[in-house]
Chains A and B, each alone.
Chain A
Amino acid sequence: AQSVTQLGSHVSVSEGALVLLRCNYSSSVPPYLFWYVQYPNQGLQLLLKYTSAATLVKGINGFEAEFKKSETSFHLTKPSAHMSDAAEYFCAVSPQGAQKLVFGQGTRLTINP
């Protein structure tokens, strides 16, 4: 069965600093990978996705993620944090071509002024 592990339930960075949210997956074959953001009391918004094309994926709001098969990782980064980036971030995995998603535990990102 596929699974996703997000290292760090809470990450705090200063405004303008690099954001790095870690995600590792467990799968026998490279799956599709997703990063979602959730603001308080709202649904999920897709930030970016990897679907076996380019390994460096650019998403919305300046975020990007790199798929590394050798490390089974799909870490999310942003060069310079904004206060508006404070939210909960979820990494998710699905088998290629399948529609079902398995979510990681989530990482709460706090931005310090």
Chain B
Amino acid sequence: GAVVSQHPSWVICKSGTSVKIECRSLDFQATTMFWYRQFPKQSLMLMATSNEGSKATYEQGVEKDKFLINHASLTLSTLTVTSAHPEDSSFYICSAVPGTLSYEQYFGPGTRLTVT
């Protein structure tokens, strides 16, 4: 149980275009999902907290207009990288928390974004 999927697993896009990444909790409902960014050989950096039915909470230094997060249902959150630049190339990982009382995060397999 507690499986989180991400789609796509990897994507290549051209500079200036937008790309959407989906995060789904497959067998549980997730009121809260998190989006992380990971550079090669580095740790995970929390980008934002996504709450179903409300606006995402972004960490300091993360551009909310560039990284659009939508948590439209209890099983789906999306991250859209708008007007992508090569420096946005990274590994993006989401996680989901079952219910509202749980503290344990279940992680997706990640999406590798390459902007050319």
Contacts from A to B (Cβ < 8 Å): 32, 36, 41-46, 49, 51, 90, 94, 97-106, 108
Contact = CB atoms under 8 A, between A and B. Distances in A.
Interface size class of B (residues with CB under 8 A): 20 to 34
A90 B104 contact: no
Contacts of A51: 103
Nearest to A98: B103
Contacts of A97: 103
Nearest to A102: B46
Interface of B: 4, 6, 32, 34, 41-44, 46, 49, 91, 93, 95, 97, 102-110, 112
Contacts of B46: 100-102
Contacts of B49: 99-100
B43 A103 contact: yes
A43 B107 CA distance: 6
B103 A32 contact: yes
Q: Which of A43, A46, A90, A99 has the most CB of B within 10 A?
A: A43
A46 B104 contact: yes
Given A43-B107, A46-B104, A98-B103, A104 B93 contact: no
A69 B103 CA distance: 21
Contacts of A98: 103
A43 B109 contact: yes
B103 A94 contact: yes
A44 B43 contact: no
